[in-house]
Amino acid sequence: MSLRSQLEDILKEMKSTGDVEASAIVSRDGLLIAADISSSVNADAFAAMSATMLGAAETAMSELGKGTPDRVVVESPSGKIVAMGAGEKALLVVMTTPKANLGLILLQLGKASKKIEELLG
């Protein structure tokens, strides 16, 4: 199985939880590696801004001497975005419905991010 389809499988699996509307694996510098996103979303911008969000949050936290954050969660009435590092080179980001169970999502995200890290190194 190709690397790409392995990565896509990880994203598909996450979608099966139900509340995940879109997900993407993004290089740390903001390029899309793999995505499960409807065509109505600008996937490239979504990828780039995910890298911005996570990067800025990581720097903000480490500047305060608090180490590396585990994740960034952004909430709005119309949904949530959660971004999490997946190794040195990549990050994982999902967009959910507003009523998604955050605990469950984080659990899934954690597992998926480990798998991605193993695959991408």
Partner 1 sequence: MKVITGIPVLDDVIEEIPEGKILTYWIDPEVEGNVFAMQTLFTNLERGCKCAYTTIAYSPEVAIGEFNEFGWDVENYENFSIVDLYSGYVGLPSNCQYNASPTDIEEVNEVMKKVIENFDVVVIPVSSVIDVCGEDSIECIGEWYDFAREKESRLICTFVSWPYPEEIEKFVKNNSNAVIRVGGVHHRVILGYYYGVVKVDWKNIKSKAILFKLVKPGGVRAYIPKILVTGPYNAGKSTFVHAVSMRAISVDRLGTTVALDHGHLEYKGFSIDLFGTPGQERFDPILKMLGREALGVILVVDSTKPETFPRAKQMLEAVAHFGLPYVVAANKQDLPDALPPEEIRKKMFLPEDVPIIPVSAKEGDGVYKVIDALLELLTGSWWVKENEPEVST
Does 63 participate in binding partner 1 (rule CB under 8 A)? Answer: yes
Percent helix / strand / coil, the chain, rounded to 5: 45, 25, 30
What Å distances lie between residue 23 and 46, 63, 65, 70, 119, CA to CA?
10, 29, 30, 18, 17
Alpha-carbon 117 to chain mean position: 12
Q: Does 55 bind partner 1 (CB under 8 A)?
A: yes
Contacting residue, 45, 74, 104, 107, with partner 1 by CB under 8 A: 45
Q: Are 12 and 20 in contact (CB under 8 A)?
A: no
Closer of 53 and 102 to partner 1 (Cβ): 53
Using CB under 8 A as the binding rule, whether residue 29 contacts partner 1 is answered as yes
Q: Indicate whether 30 belongs to the interface with partner 1 (CB under 8 A).
A: yes
Tokens of 83: 């971004």
Of the candidate spans 17-25, 49-57, 64-72, 106-114, the one that interacts with partner 1 by CB under 8 A turns out to be 49-57
Residues in touch with partner 1 (CB under 8 A): 27-31, 44-45, 47-49, 51-52, 55-56, 58-59, 63, 89
